[in-house]
Amino acid sequence: MTDLDVRGIRKVYDGRTRTVEAVRDLTFTVATGELVCLVGPSGCGKTTLLKIIAGLLEPTSGEVLLEGRRVDGPPPDMAVVFQEYGRSLFPWKTVRDNVELPLRQKKGLTAARRRELVEESLAAVGLAEAHAAYPWQLSGGMQQRVAIARAIAYEPRVLLMDEPFAAVDAQTRADLEDLIRDLWHRFRVTTLFVTHDIDEAVYLGQRVLILSQSPTVVRQDLVIDLPDQRDQLHTRSSPRFAELRAQVYSQIHRPRTDPAVPEEVPAGRGPRP
Ligand SMILES: Nc1ncnc2c1ncn2[C@@H]1O[C@H](COP(=O)(O)OP(=O)(O)OP(=O)(O)O)[C@@H](O)[C@H]1O
């Protein structure tokens, strides 16, 4: 079954002085319970695409379907984890209250069930002990764990992650990558994980969607045929990992086949139909 169906998404930012075609034509699907990584160079429109999928930004053309229903605003059964954990947590609320907050918007949850979900998800990310702390008392990696716990507690149908580990150190990043694999094994939430880090995409994903430079199209939809049980040491040093990362690298850096296509359209000409 398909959870997420992205069809012909195009996005043109129409500014006063210039018009930028950020995303040209993106089409892909994510099946129920899949973990798919989306990798592309900086500025290729990953955040733009994610905002469109999350219903926060309207595409110029194309559509996103979530379980067959068109997304035209933030869907209630989707959770997003952003890169800037510092700005996504409320500093005046405790860890427990930060995780519980979105649950208060969810219909039909009793206070007891909310408490249960908060406790379970904090335990799942290894932060059961930190429930009474404030975000500013925690390290960056711990704050990002809180943001992940908040997303999981919500029991979303689809989880979107936008470069969630870009701002943490390398060791914390590796730990958080393993946490994502672990949580995905446990909860099987349909996950779309956006990153510009090729190794991270190959390590995490069942599939990697490789994006071109802006204006963006899908260069390749690559199946990651690494063993399901992955670990930082053995997986990353395996010959197959090296082959897959080389394949992603060469696709990302492949020259555009259509160099005549302008990346910026003069203002006033407007988006193409
Ligand atoms: N609100 C906006 N108005 C005009 N142009 C924009 C706007 N947001 C993004 N862009 C442009 O669209 C293109 C894609 O930006 P976007 O932030 O989606 O890329 P990205 O792949 O997420 O980048 P990064 O990896 O550096 O975070 C860029 O050229 C950017 O300058």
**What is the model's pLDDT at position 231?**
93
Residues framing ligand 1 (Cβ under 6 A): 13, 15, 20, 22, 40, 42-48, 196, 214
Domain ranges for the chain, please list them.
Answer: 1-77+158-166+173-273, 85-155
Cβ-based neighbours of 5, under 8 Å, separated by 6 or more: 29, 64, 65, 66, 68
Nearest CA to ligand 1 atom 8: 48
DSSP H or E stretch at residue 85: helix 85-88
C-alpha 214 – ligand 1 centre gap (Å): 9
Length, in residues, of the chain: 273
**Tokens 């990346």 label which residue?**
263
Q: Find tokens 């067959």 and name the residue.
A: 68
Confidence (pLDDT) at 257: 61
What is the mean pLDDT, run by run of 10 residues, along the chain of 273 residues?
Answer: 90 89 92 95 89 95 94 90 83 95 89 94 90 92 91 91 87 90 91 94 96 86 96 94 96 67 42 41
For the record, the structure tokens of 29 come out as 């699907």
- Distance in Å, CA 150 to ligand 1 centroid: 26
- Domain 1-77+158-166+173-273 annotated CATH 3.40.50.620: no
pLDDT value of position 260: 40
Atom of ligand 1 nearest to the CA of 49: 18
Question: What's the rounded Cα separation, in Å, for the pair 268 and 273?
Answer: 14
148 burial level (CB within 10 Å; 0-12, 13-18, 19+): buried
How far is ligand 1, taken at its centre, from the CA of residue 80, in Å?
18
pLDDT at 105: 87
Query: Peptide bond before 266: cis, by omega within 30 degrees of 0?
Result: no
256: amino acid identity, one letter: R
Q: Which residues pair with 122 in a beta bridge?
A: none
How much is the pLDDT for 212?
Answer: 86
CA 166 to ligand 1 center in whole angstroms: 16
